[in-house]
Amino acid sequence: MSEEIDITKLETPELLELIQDDLYDGLADEVVASVNELLARDMTPSDVLNKGLVAGMEIVGFDFRDGILFVPEVLMAAKAMKAGMEILRPLLIETGATQIGTLVIGTVKGDIHDIGKNLVSMMMEGAGFNVINLGINTDVDAFLEAIEEHKPDILGMSAMLTTTMTYMAVVIEALEEKGIRDQLLVLVGGAPLNDAFAEEIRADAYCRDAAVGVETAKKLLAIRRGQPG
């Protein structure tokens, strides 16, 4: 499709539009090419991120909400976003620009259901987050280790079973004991959960689906960053 378009000949505003369209259509290679082209034109990584990728994924989000785009299309767009982010992330760190955020996520111990959690991971990547997906059957030690290593802004936990969801409380208690609970947002999700459960185990929020998860993560992170100190 767009390989017929010579991106070096496009004006920068057109190229930004093209990135948004390519994200919308889930064209990872094309997104990567345009990101590189924009960087070659000396656009700052932060501008490429915000004016190109983030703006594009916003449209994807709106059209998903309105039923125009389906889940597989959003996942394709998220993959294209991730591909673009992989180029930008080291540059953003280098320039000291604000990161969108880092998420450590896993299905808790005893539970091997991870389709929902994987959807959340992909959608979070689609929103520009750096996602460390710990997989299934994740115990306290594995969560703590990953937090230590990646210094995430957000910890995400998932459970499909009423018998395993209680393990989320065990993880949160461990964070409290180590005195690092306040450094993190803790978001939880899964079929048997609800708001009351999240409150009870002292999580920051329950997210009923991947889209809500992304919204909640962005919103709570903005609030947190807006607060002094």
Partner 1 sequence: MQNYASLLSQAQVERIHEASLEILESVGLLVRNEKARQIFAHHGLHVDHETEIVKFPRGIIEEFRAQFPPSFTFRGREWSFDRTIPGDSPLVLTGSSAPNIIDPVTGYERRATSDDLARISHLINQLPGYDVFSIATLADDAPPGQFSLSRFYPSIRNTVKPVRANTPPEEAEDMLRLVYMIAGSESAFRDHPFVTFHYCPVVSPLTMDFDSTELLLFFKEQGLPSYFSIVPNAGLTSPLTLVGTLAQNNAEFLAAAVLSQMIHPGSELIYSTLPTVADLRTGAYSPGAIETGILHMGCAQMARFYNIPSGGYIGLTNSKINDAQAGYETGMSVVAGYLGGVDILNMGGLLDALMAFDFAKAVIDNDIAMMLKRIRRGFEFHEEELSLDLIAEIGPGGMFADSDHTLERMRTTMYLTEIADREPREQWQESGASDAQAKAMRRVKDILTRDNPTEFSPEVDAKIRSEFVGMISGVSMPPEGWKRSTSTSSKGRETRQERRRRLRENAATN
Residue 223 binds to partner 1 (criterion: CB under 8 A): no
Is 59 within 8 Å of 24 (Cβ atoms)? Answer: yes
Rounded CA separation 222/227 (Å) = 9
User: With binding defined as CB under 8 A, does residue 219 bind partner 1?
Assistant: no
Order of strands, sheet of 154-158, starting from the edge strand that comes earlier in the sequence = 130-133, 102-107, 154-158, 185-189, 205-206
Among 8, 41, 58, 70, binds partner 1 (CB under 8 A): 70
| Contact residue for partner 1 among 34, 35, 57, 79 (CB under 8 A) | 79
Is residue 122 involved in binding partner 1 (CB under 8 A)?
yes
User: Binding of partner 1 at residue 1 (CB under 8 A)?
Assistant: yes
* 8 Å CB contact between 79 and 122: yes
Phi/psi-derived region of residue 104, left when phi > 0, alpha when psi is between -120 and 50, beta in every other case = beta
Minimum distance from CB of 88 to partner 1 (Å)?
21
Which of residues 42 and 66 has its CB atom nearest to partner 1 in the complex?
A: 66
Q: Which is nearer to partner 1, 92 or 109 (CB)?
A: 109
CA dihedral in degrees (27, 29, 35, 39; nearest 10)? -170
Torsion of CA 201, 202, 205, 209, to 10 degrees: -20
Name the one range near partner 1 by CB under 8 A: 41-49, 75-83, 88-96, 152-160: 75-83
Q: Applying CB under 8 A, does 86 fall inside the site for partner 1? A: no
> Residues in the site for partner 1, rule: CB under 8 A?
1-2, 4-6, 9-10, 14, 17-18, 21, 24-26, 63, 66, 68-73, 75-76, 79, 114-115, 118-119, 122, 208-209
